[in-house]
A and B are shown apart, each in its own frame.
Chain A
Amino acid sequence: MIEVIKLVKDYGDLKVIREVSLTIERGEKVALIGPSGSGKSTFLRCLNLLEEPTRGSILFEGTNLTDPGIDINLHRQQMGMVFQQFNLFKNKTVLENIMLAPLYLRQQKNKKHLFASPSSVKSIKEEVKEEAIQLLKRIGLEEKQGAYPATLSGGQKQRIAIVRALAMDPKVMLFDEPTSSLDPEMVGEVLDLIRSLADEGMTMVIVTHEMGFAREVASRVIFMDDGQLVEQGPPKALFDRPQHVRTREFLSKVLEDDSCRRSCL
């Protein structure tokens, strides 16, 4: 589904991604782990071209996204993205946040038809709204549809950001540290939602520091360090028998912290 070929990303002299190649199949749940500054977020953001790769190519369903001739917006519509900072549209209500992109997309499509009547324009809006409300019901926040993002908790914002991405019916979901800026008590509700997506068979790539979650949900875990994919494999193998010394070092550090945190609580 996604094929990354010799991807390089430099910021001037700083090499963030060093020739990374990777293939992600439909239905896979890939967790990217690694120390901060290892390039995992940059790598994820290159997948939908929020960061422009310096070299290399990214094939998404056979289309080369780095080809300057393509309409990147069309392809981004099929790749949902969830940010660490949620990034809900601050000037829109919850419902408008979810409806904005799908409504625009369908109105554009409708314009291409010759017989676009005012009534069909209206029914498109009703349709999109109905779907948006269904999505809100799924996360139990339909009573928040008229609220502005500033009045919501972090966990609520992130769950809405996830369904905003789902509203476009994407083929893959990219999560960029979706729980890193949440208060601890809100991490669970967001992870539960991501888990339920995984269970439905959504293809996803998750950059995360939640090792327990990566182990439980991912079908493949990739350890990234210094702009390279150091080691990858099924979660059990990677967590229990890391082959590479850097992976071992990293895991011993974070797992120690993890168990410490658990024992402290």
Chain B
Amino acid sequence: MDHLQTKVERFWRIFYQYKGYSRVVTGLKNTLVIAISGLTVGILIGTLVAAVEVSPQKKRSVRFLDRLARFYVALFRGTPIVVQLLVTYYVVFPLLSLNFSPLSVCVLVFGLNSGAYVSEIMRSGIQAVDPGQMEAGRAVGLSYRKTMWEIIVPQAIKNILPTLGNEFIALIKETSVVSFVGALDLYVAFNFIGTNNYEFMVPYLVMALIYIVLVMAVTGLIRLMERSLRKSDRSNQAGERLR
């Protein structure tokens, strides 16, 4: 165990005295920036795509959008995110002679990727709401949009939120591949420390711990939000009485 102690000491030297932590902080920041803005972009795209997919309208414009949405979802769910990153950064952007920083490319790709998943989460969340709710809304004379907004979406959010939390957690973890296009994330930061020491055990262990803490914090946050949304559930009230 004496061995491990020297490893920790060497890690600490690079991490603290040689300011390896500044890279870790940047990496952590980038991870969060990519995951949060990726999810935000994903929710925006996903909402639009889901709205098209659940629309009962059979107009030609809607049908065209529907087909486009299906193609988009198939494309981004059918390829690994690393491939999407590489193709966007090394193929699509150069072909369009666009020049963006690795970080912004990552935000874009993670947003598009997550949009495909989020749209599916939202579609199934909306379709899981009892169809009788829409019928009741329409039967009292509310419009499709008004019923959607007042009745269906609030109930769908309850179905969607836990899965959306999982999507966010998946995004956080997937950011560990952004170094493929040269963005600095936690992996790059700890890899740097390891390379300077020829010692990877402690840096990678600490990296793993940071990911776990991050994910646990997010999980806790989602739990809190779910609980506040569960007001109208009987199951919840019964549960509280039992406790």
Residue numbers of A with Cβ under 8 A of B are: 48, 50, 73-81, 83, 85, 87-92, 100-101, 104-105, 148-151, 161, 164-165, 168
- Report Cα–Cα, A151/B237, bound state, in Å: 9
Residue of B nearest to A45 (CB): B135
- A89-B136, A164-B140 given; 4 more Cβ-contact pairs under 8 Å: A48-B139, A91-B232, A92-B150, A100-B142
A74 touches B141 (CB 8 A): yes
CB contacts between A and B, total, < 8 Å = 77
Contacts of A161 in B (CB 8 A): 136
The 9 closest A-B pairs by CB, nearest first: A77-B141, A150-B234, A87-B136, A101-B140, A81-B139, A87-B132, A148-B232, A76-B141, A91-B154
For chain B residues 134-152, which have a beta carbon within 8 Å of chain A? 135-143, 146, 150-151
Q: Determine if B155 is an interface residue (Cβ-Cβ < 8 Å).
A: yes
Q: Is the interface of B mostly helix, strand, loop or mixed?
A: helix
Which of B130, B132, B232 lies at the interface centre, i.e. has the most chain A CB atoms within 10 A of its CB?
B232
Contact size range, B: 20 to 34
Chain B residues near A149 (CB, 8 Å)? Answer: 232
> 8 interchain pairs (CB within 8 A)?
A48-B139, A73-B141, A74-B141, A81-B136, A83-B136, A87-B130, A87-B132, A89-B136
**A residues in contact with B235, CB < 8 Å:** 150
Known: A90-B155, A148-B232, A150-B232. Contact between A104 and B142, CB under 8 A?
yes
Chain B residues within an 8 Å CB radius of A48: 139
B59 at the interface (CB under 8 A from A): no
Q: CB < 8 Å: which of A74, A89, A101, A151 contacts B133?
A: A89
**Cβ contact within 8 Å between B132 and A83:** yes
- B132 in contact with A85 (CB, 8 Å): yes
How many Å lie between the Cα of A81 and that of B137 in the bound state?
10
Residue contact B155 to A91, C-beta cutoff 8 Å: yes
Q: Which chain A positions have C-beta within 8 A of B132?
A: 83, 85, 87
**Out of B139, B140, B143, which one reaches A100, CB within 8 Å?**
B140
